[in-house]
Amino acid sequence: MSMFSSLSRITLAKAAIFKNAPVYIQFYVTSRCNLECEQCNIIFANSDVRECTIDEIERIADNFAEMKVAIVLLTGGEPFVRKDLPQIIHAFESRGIHVRMQTNGFASEEQIVRAIEAGGKDISISLDSLHPDRQAIINGKVENSWNRALRAMAIFMRHLPREGSFASLGCVLQPQNMADIEDVIRFGTAASWFTSLVPVHVSDNAAPRGFRSFDQTLQFRETEYATVDAIIERVRRMRTEGYLLYDSDQYLDDIKRFVRNEKTTWRSHNHDVCDSPNLYFALLPNGEFAPCCDHRMEKSYPAYAPEFPSQYKQRQFREEVARITSACSGCMYGSYPEMTVSMRFLAAKIQRVKTFITSPPDKNWPLSYEELLELAESIRSERRERPQSRRNDG
C-alpha cells in the first residue's frame, strides 16, 4: 500500500525530472508551543502573526491541490496545540496532498487518534537523547519531556497502520548531545523508526534568522570539529549496516562543513541557490508565503487568496524570492537540503525510492511505552566507546 496519493506521486516524479514542481511545503500552523528548546527560536520569530482559520486553511488546500503540491509538513510551534489539527490534516489529505506531522510528543492519545483518523500517517517526533535529564535541559528544563516523547511513540505505533506509514525521530546535533547521536539511531532502528539529523543553527542579533537560536554557546568549537567528523562517519557506516538513518551522503558531508561555517555543497547543482519556491517553500501561521523558515517576503502573499496559484508562477514573484534566496548563505534544516539532494543527486534519489517505495523496512510494531523504556535503558547501558559531549555549563 503506497503512502502517497496519485497526485503526490505524479508531482514527485515531475520534480525529479524538471526540478520545478511544488513538492514540499512547511506550514507553521502555530507559533505556540509547550516547550522552549535551547536550539529553537521559531516560537518567538512567528509570534507576531495570527493563526489561519480553518476556512482559510480549506482555501489553502484548494489552492495547493490546483498547484499539485505533493507534501505538506504541519509544524509549529507545536501543531498539536491546535484543537482543529484533525480538520487541518483532513483538509489536505482529502485533496490528495500528503501530510507529514511534526510533534514534541506532548499530545494525548485522543489527539493522536483523531489526527490519524483524519488521514495523518507520517509522523516525526523530536528526540535528542536517551537520557531524560539531558533531554529536559535541551527542551528548556521541562521535566518528563523525554518520557512524553516515548509515550507518544508508543501511541503512534499502536494506531498507525504498519504498511503505508512512516515514522522518524528528529535529532538536533549540538555540542551537548554528541555522545547521544549513535544511541538515538540505535533506539529508533530497534523501534522501526528512522532518524534524521539536523545540526544546530545559531544566529546573532546583527543578522537574525527566523528559526535559529541566539544562544552563542551552542556554536561548535574548533576543538570539537574532529568529534563531529567522527560522529558523521560513524552514523554513515551505521546506515550501510542497516540502521535506519534517513540522511543522504551529500547531506552528511555538508553537516561537517556547516558546523565549521564553511560553504555547503547541496546547492551546487542549482548555482548555489536553494530550490525555493520551485521545489519547496514555507507558510507562516497566518498563511502568508515565506521562502523558508529563516526569511520572509517584503510583500504579503497569502496562500489562501484566490490569486495565489497564478502569483506563484509569475516572473515578478519569482524574482522577489530570488533576491532573498540568492543572498542567503544556506542552511542545513534537513527537509529543504534533502529535498534538493533527492531531486538533483542520483544516489540520494535511488536511496529515497528504496526507503519509500521499493524496499521500505518491516515494522515490529506495536511496542509499548514500557518496552521502549527497557529498550532505551538497554542501549544506554551498552559498553561502547562514545564521543564526549560538552557539559551543559556553556
Note the pLDDT tens digit of each residue in 314-350.
999 999 999 999 999 999 998 999 999 999 998 888 8
Average pLDDT, integer, range 239-257: 97
Name beta bridge partners: 75.
Answer: 28
Domain assignment present for residue 173? The answer is yes
Q: Give the domain range for residue 213.
A: 6-380
Determine the Cα–Cα distance for residues 226 and 200; give it in Å rounded to an integer: 16
- Is residue 390 situated within a structural domain? no
Q: How far is CA 47 from CA 12, 282, 286, 340, in A?
A: 33, 16, 10, 29
273: CATH: 3.20.20.70
Structural domain contains residue 260: yes
**Which band of pLDDT confidence, cut at 50, 70 and 90, is reported for residue 393?**
very low
Note whether residue 143 is domain-resident. yes
Residue 32 C-alpha cell reads as 505556540
The pLDDT value recorded for residue 95 is 97
Q: Beginning with the edge strand found earlier in the chain, give each strand of the sheet holding 280-283 in spatial order.
A: 194-199, 166-173, 122-126, 98-103, 71-75, 24-28, 280-283, 289-290
The answer to whether position 323 is within a domain reads yes
Domains in the chain, number: 1
- Dist CA 356 CA 136 (whole Å): 33
pTM of the model: 0.95
Domain for residue 26, yes or no? yes
Between 214 and 146, residue with greater pLDDT: 146
Residue 214 belongs to a domain? yes
